[in-house]
Structure 1
């Protein structure tokens, strides 16, 4: 029996052509070039708001991104750090989407953003369902970088979908998804879109250091740890590549942190040159010099499926076309 596929299955979310979200990556890794490339292909690209810089730096990022695309995009803000001025700048600039994470999304923030015409998308915030957010990102423990949750994505995702119920709040799946198979699996569990970090980090437009990108192809295993960035951001575990440096130091005693460690390199972040100490939480970007291989390299569990560095637009295209083909092949005929 032939089954007609639902026309809405691969439609976009939040007004974007496709339900593909490029996660905010720092420091400076998801810069204007990457975000614009994703936006120009129909996805939602997210800048990451600078953590140390003035709001003028943030506005310059917005202006540069707008010079590369006429499509809407968003900005991710970490609520664990001072963020009020950043949010004000984002709303003043009327960026399409404010994505917030590592903290509870308050109703006042949502009301203020909506008044400015900005959509709000929190991550891992079940309570946000009741404050009229525009979408929710559900992140599993498989994700790369700093991961606040402890549950795997696929057991967690349908529970959040059930909590949302018939409210008009798209659920976006994140954590370990890098290809069309993961996209289709998330759709089957009720997600309306997927958010990818590791796959977009390994793109031509990503501002990650070339050695970092190379290691993502070379290594296929990650580990959940807390040895990086303990002094600056305590109690913030992360998932990283199992590089030789990490494997040597992964049993770092709990009382040790980067504060008293030697400087192993320098990096320009948000327009300023900064020292990088051993065990710092600063991943190497294109400007980084020094002992790159001894720096943190964030990556999700899906990294083993990444075999090449691609243009970001090609990543979006393969996700969408691959998902459509899979659905037709597996479910088009019963």
Structure 2
């Protein structure tokens, strides 16, 4: 596939559904306008009317197709109904099984279903179900990570599993630049999915302090310190901030439920308190002790040196991949 598209998009570049509301209409539209697949993030609670507004606002900013990501671990039936009613191009789902009923409903609506997996077993179930594409997430990824395997070992196994079936495989986890893009292609993927790199863009809804820390930091850790009460059994990769390093050995019986409030935020239109050790990532509305909040990031964060427009990130990935493939690996 080289640097060509997947699922009808111009390029094989996917902007992950950054949550809970970091990938808003502005970011998604910018990625779509540059030829990539941008993904909104559905609220982690039923809010179909609000989600319709997000989709429709995005359509005022781009005439290109885009998608919406849904975490199946949270209430989602009405949200998915809204997505299918709006006939977005792609429904991306994670942290759950893709049912035949959902696939049939999506196909009737003309919506492609992309499932994110973190293990070979999950990938096999996805192939058997007949999803339209699979995102293979390695342990290197930022945010909530469902699997335990590194991308370089897991990805080729899934590619071999898919074989000649028409199910594109998309690599995710620690990819931030053209070298990672080409590496994913070399391992058999037809595209790449980036999260942290798109958090660090002009259009992302992340708090400026969060973006600054992504530029300054180069160390991450896979942990379960944040959000234990709200989402148990959901480990994640975060920046090693001074706050995290102080509390990295938080006793297992502790969680955010009885902790002090360290900030406030408006998330998908709902005002929320943020308690210490909550899994809430700071957005533009967040106030309080930002550096003590969950700052999700993948292992490739040390390669991010500046905040860029999302379209420039997409173009840099494509042009860089073209250069590497033509000038370093073509044998010319």
**What is the TM-score of this pair, normalised by structure 2?**
0.97
Q: State which of 262, 268, 281 in structure 2 corresponds to 1:283.
A: 281
Q: Aligned residue pairs: how many?
A: 327
CA distance in structure 1 between the aligned counterparts of 2:280 and 2:150, rounded to whole angstroms: 25
CA distance in structure 1 between the aligned counterparts of 2:282 and 2:255, rounded to whole angstroms: 18
Q: What does residue range 240-251 of structure 1 map to in structure 2 within 5 Å?
A: 240-251=238-249
User: Could you give the per-residue CA deviations for residues 8-45 of structure 1, whole angstroms, max 9, x where no partner exists?
Assistant: 42210000000000000112100000000000000000
8 Å contact kept, 2:46–2:77: no
Stretches of structure 2 that go unaligned for 5 or more consecutive residues are none
Note the C-alpha offset of 1:52. Answer: 2.8
CA distance in structure 2 between the aligned counterparts of 1:59 and 1:226, rounded to whole angstroms: 33
Deviation larger for 324-333 or 27-36: 324-333
CA distance in structure 1 between the aligned counterparts of 2:167 and 2:184, rounded to whole angstroms: 16
CA RMSD of aligned residues (A): 0.8
Note the C-alpha offset of 1:166. Answer: 0.5
CA distance in structure 1 between the aligned counterparts of 2:52 and 2:67, rounded to whole angstroms: 13
CA distance in structure 2 between the aligned counterparts of 1:53 and 1:281, rounded to whole angstroms: 19
User: Could you give the per-residue CA deviations for residues 249-292 of structure 1, whole angstroms, max 9, x where no partner exists?
Assistant: 00000000000000000000111211000000001000000111
Note the C-alpha offset of 1:133. Answer: 1.1
State the secondary structure of the residue aligned to 1:331: coil
CA distance in structure 2 between the aligned counterparts of 1:287 and 1:324, rounded to whole angstroms: 39
Q: State which of 68, 71, 75 in structure 2 corresponds to 1:82.
A: 75
State the secondary structure of the residue aligned to 1:123: strand
Note the C-alpha offset of 1:333. Answer: 2.0
Q: What residue in structure 1 maps to residue 267 of structure 2? A: 269
CA distance in structure 1 between the aligned counterparts of 2:158 and 2:9, rounded to whole angstroms: 22
8 Å contact kept, 1:53–1:270: no
1:73 and 2:66 matched = yes
CA distance in structure 2 between the aligned counterparts of 1:150 and 1:108, rounded to whole angstroms: 29
State the secondary structure of the residue aligned to 2:305: coil
Q: State which of 188, 208, 211 in structure 1 corresponds to 2:209.
A: 211
CA distance in structure 1 between the aligned counterparts of 2:46 and 2:159, rounded to whole angstroms: 37
Stretches of structure 1 that go unaligned for 5 or more consecutive residues are 1-7
8 Å contact kept, 2:94–2:116: yes
**What is the TM-score of this pair, normalised by structure 1?**
0.97
Note the C-alpha offset of 1:81. Answer: 1.0
CA distance in structure 1 between the aligned counterparts of 2:165 and 2:280, rounded to whole angstroms: 38
CA distance in structure 2 between the aligned counterparts of 1:333 and 1:158, rounded to whole angstroms: 24
Note the C-alpha offset of 1:128. Answer: 0.9
Note the C-alpha offset of 1:53. Answer: 5.1
8 Å contact kept, 1:52–1:270: no
8 Å contact kept, 2:45–2:75: no
Q: What residue in structure 1 maps to residue 19 of structure 2? A: 26
CA distance in structure 1 between the aligned counterparts of 2:46 and 2:99, rounded to whole angstroms: 24
Q: State which of 47, 55, 72 in structure 1 corresponds to 2:48.
A: 55
1:40 and 2:30 matched = no
